[in-house]
Structures are given as structure tokens and as C-alpha cells.
A = this chain, B = another copy of it.
Amino acid sequence: MLKTNIAPPQDCSDCPIRHRAVCARCEPDELKLLEEVKYYRSFEAGQTVVWSGDKMDFVASVVSGVATLTQTMEDGRRQMVGLLLPSDFVGRPGRHGSPYDVTAVSDLVMCCFRKRPFEQMMETTPHIAQRLLEMTLDELDAAREWMLVLGRKTAREKIASLLSIIARRDPVFSHSDQRSVTFNLPLTREAMADYLGLTLETVSRQISALKRDGIIQLEGKRRVHVPDLDLLLEEAGDDSDGGLPS
């Protein structure tokens, strides 16, 4: 049951997220500097990476696995505010504490940079700051997209939206242009509920309904097959436009 908590140190040049993470634009010499302040950390599914309010003395990229950012109210209501997939960035240069709980949802490996030197590099190597700005703007767009989901979509549309986001970001799918996809659902029903602003019962019922209607098929509880992604996008209420038939 206990696994070692140490991942083998890795060379940046054959890092799986090399071309998508904060370091994407770095030149070899810049990478070298980063390598000096980086270290890997592994977490098991369910472990907390940082608690909201805690001091965070590093920033990090997700290398593999899935993590979540969640906010909790005093009475226990929870809202997930970010889903971190490989290459996503956590932490904010120029701030000590995390405003959110960061939790490993599957087994997780993160590439961490000590905060102080990373902040200094931000000032000296524009490639890092540029890439971080770009990623932050993308995340802001994603957050705003999600506000539409939370504020205006029905339960069924919410589920379909979440499934299509995960499907689209799945590495197997992203470089194929098939209509059908199969992927692993990295979240429990409860975590999905926290993301969608629903209860887990409603999540379960809507997934059953999508299955009944042939929009999705389940293989076990966690593996999802989508025979026609356009149908799913339709259910999500998004402007799929595409979908010219035949």
C-alpha cells in the first residue's frame, strides 16, 4: 500500500510536458538554470498537496496525474475551481499562501521549483514570464467558460460539458480527429459534483440518463466511451457548429 514518495529525477530534455509547460519556450541554457532549482514530488490519489491558507514555498507543473483546486465554505459547501492536468501550472509567483486546497485526485507527479529562485528567473528570463502569461490567460478563458457552465447550464448540460472537456484534453484524442473517443474519468462522482455545482446524486442520475440515451457508454465506472463526440457537444449546449452529416 505504501509507495515510495520519490520519483526518479529526470532530465528536462525528455520530459513529457517539455513543450507545453511553463518551460515550453526556454532555451537549453535557460532550462539548465531551471533544472538547478527543480525537484520532483509524488502524491498518491487522495493526498492533499497544500491546504488553503498554508504557506507554499514552491510553484510547480503537473507532470502526470490529475489534481484539483477547491474552495470550501465554513459550512462545508465545496466548489472545485480548477482541474489540473499534465503541463498545468500551480502557484503564484509573488504570493506566499495558496488560496485553495490543492488535492491529488489520481497518483500525481509534480515538477516543483523553489519559489524564490523561480521568481528571480521570472525577472531575468523573459521566456518564462511570457509563457506564464500565456498560460494564465488561457486559464482565465477556461475559468470564464466555466462560469457559463455553472451559472446557466442544466445538470445534463453540465455533465456533458465536463465530459467533453476531459475528452478533448485526453492525450489519445487530441491528435486524432475521430468522432468517437474512449477515456478514463479521473474524478469520483463527488468530485464531479464539486466541479459542477451539483450533488453527487444528480451527477449519477444524469450520467445514467446520458447512458440510457446512447450518448455515452460506460466500461466499469471510470472508463467512458463516446461513440459520437458531436452528439455529446450538442448535449453540452455548446456551439459545436461543425457536424456536417455524412
Binding site for B on A (CB under 8 A): 69, 71, 73-75, 77-79, 81-82, 92, 94, 99-100, 123, 126, 129-130, 132-134, 136-137, 139-141, 143-148, 150-152, 196-197, 237, 239
Contacts and interface: CB of A to CB of B under 8 A. Distances in A.
B151 A197 contact: yes
A172 to B, nearest CB: 27
26 contacts: A71-B145, A73-B148, A75-B237, A78-B152, A79-B148, A81-B144, A81-B148, A82-B144, A99-B141, A123-B126, A126-B126, A126-B129, A129-B130, A129-B133, A132-B133, A136-B136, A136-B137, A136-B140, A140-B140, A143-B143, A143-B144, A143-B147, A146-B147, A150-B151, A150-B197, A151-B197
B132 A71 contact: no
A145 B74 CA distance: 15
